[in-house]
Amino acid sequence: MNATTLPASLDLATLAAAYRAGLKPSALFAHLHDLAAADDHRAWISLLPRSELLARAAALDVVDPASLPLYGVPFAVKDNIDLAGLPTTAGCPDYAYDPADSAVVVARLLAAGAIPLGKTNLDQFATGLNGTRSPYGACRNAFKPEFISGGSSSGSAVAVAAGQVSFSLGTDTAGSGRVPAAFNNLIGLKPSCGVLSSRGVVPACRSLDSVSIFTLTAADAAAVFAVAQAFDAEDAYSRPLAPHGRRFPAGAPFRFGVPRREQLAFFGDAENPALFDAAVARLTALGGTPVDLDFSPFLETARLLYGGPWVAERYHAIKDFIERQPESVFPVTREITLGGAKATAVEAFDAAYRLKALKRRCDAVWQDVDLVITPTAGLHPSIAAVEAEPLRINTDLGYYTNFMNLLDYAAVAVPAAMRSDGLPFGVTLFAPAFQDLPLLELANRWQQESGLPLGASGQPLPTGEIAAPGVPDGMLRVAVCGAHLSGLPLNWQLTQRGGRLIGAVRSAPEYRFYALAGGPPLRPGMLRVASGGAAIEMEIWELPAREFGSFVAGIPAPLGIGKVKLADGSQVSGFVCESAGLDGAEDITHFAGWRSWLASRSQA
């Protein structure tokens, strides 16, 4: 590859290979600026001047590509996020201002070597899920221009899908970082609320807003997320990225929730139901067990977002402007926003109380499943259809998305299939807050199995694993061999701490096994020996690290937690026994497991 050969795809792996082979950022960005300037999807509101863009790129021409994590990576910024050097319009020309500084999240990306092309189109003031509510024109879908791009982060998604940038920033309050991803065959990461700073972002609902990331691959989303996330003490809603919970590597079983059949909604679409069924089957093939889920509390929560007082936050964000210049606001946006001025404090408290109760019900599902899968959107309407019925269709588009930030969950929209009409279909995987990385790792496995092309490029997915962005695992594993086994008297000590069964294993054949004196409950002890040992049946449980100390503190002598060697040679924390505690114990090694010994007692 010579210095002017352009990569076939802008995914990070392909782009990095092109740079290693001699491509210079200045050559790439000259091409990309011309490509974006000629775009007819209405994806862009403003571009950096060509001379400034090329100057930024040329500065990297003499820099070692290995020295920056996002060296020469082109990206786009939704035009409600500040980028110094270009106005922030929030999709409203009369509202526009010139920021002195870039938003915190943008500044982090710039410092990592990424280069912005410009600002992208959106549903005005980030109010909408369709991409048509903009005075800059309805953003056109990357596959079929007569269909909606999804919104509000419409241009951000289309710019990635059309091969003009490697990734983009959006925002997601009600689904704006997921619906456009689904409609343009992209990964859409809706991070845990607060882990990406929102300082320098025009708020929609400040207490719920989340800066989102659009990429071609899940691996790319993880790489961008690793750079973008950081605690910002000057953002009142910022919070550190806490240790995540359970991961979903190949070979590890997991359970996932699926809304009951009667609670799924496709709004008359004939093809998407079968595509969703196929997506459930794919997740099952990746090691998951589907679990029927009562989706009603999620749906009730979703209705609170626009049917409750949270609309008042949208009014609060622009109240001075909209009261002074209501004619400057897009008609549908004006109607929705001014409706927020009518909410009372009593209604706000009523809704807050209701949300608290609904969250308790929704959170209860995490006792039974590790994640949930839904369609990202039940239908994909045309621009004409949305313009004819803007409120009803927008409500339909939020059926599977509006609850997410109210409930404080992390979510990843992933491409699932190409429809017979040439439009993409996508699904969303969601889990509790701070499960961003595990969801992306699962999304990476999903993409590797799907065989779908990247965005609208037609290019195949590159292979590769996700490099974890230095976030500690929030789970610990423990091997149990007695009363803590599934269904036995002390198993509750694991389940009430959020423990999950990983699977049955055997120890290495290096242990003697004893029924200890005393009880109830009856307990066994495992003693590692130099010779004459046997393999003992055990279960591996995963427990949140924050709960591990209290679990260990409740273990009575002569038992304790040490390292147990498993049959595959690995070691895991597990129950061990002091030799001094074997007085009066019965050697039951020949049973090779506690359940077998208990069964022999019941038959005696």
DSSP 8-state code for residue 464: -
- The span from the CA of 491 to the CA of 367, in Å, is 14
Residue 176 is among the residues annotated as catalytic for this protein:
yes
Assess contact for 25 and 72: CB atoms under 8 A: yes
Is 356 an annotated catalytic residue? no
Q: Output the DSSP codes for 346-382.
A: HHHHHHHHHHHHHHHHHHGGGGT-SEEEEES-S---B
Active-site choice (26, 176, 192, 507): 176
What does the buried/exposed string (b/e) look like for 318-334 if buried means 16 or more CB atoms within 10 Å of the residue's CB?
A: beebbeeeeeebbebbb
**How far is 596 from 261, CA to CA, in rounded Å?**
41
Cβ(241)–Cβ(468) below 8 Å: no
Q: 190 an active-site residue?
A: no
> Who contacts 555 (Cβ-Cβ below 8 Å, separation ≥6)?
561, 575
Query: Nearest-CA neighbor of 178 among 401, 422, 20, 388?
Result: 401
DSSP state of 556: P
Interatomic CA distance for residues 71 and 109, integer angstroms: 10
Residue in 78, 166, 212, 238 annotated catalytic: 78
Residue 201, H or E segment: none
Q: What are the Cα distances from residue 43, in Å, to 1, 38, 76, 119, 188?
A: 31, 11, 10, 9, 17
Residue written as tokens 């230095």?
Answer: 470
Closest CA to 480 of 534, 552, 553: 552
Alpha helix stretches (DSSP H) within 541-593: 545-553
Which residues form the catalytic set?
78, 152, 176
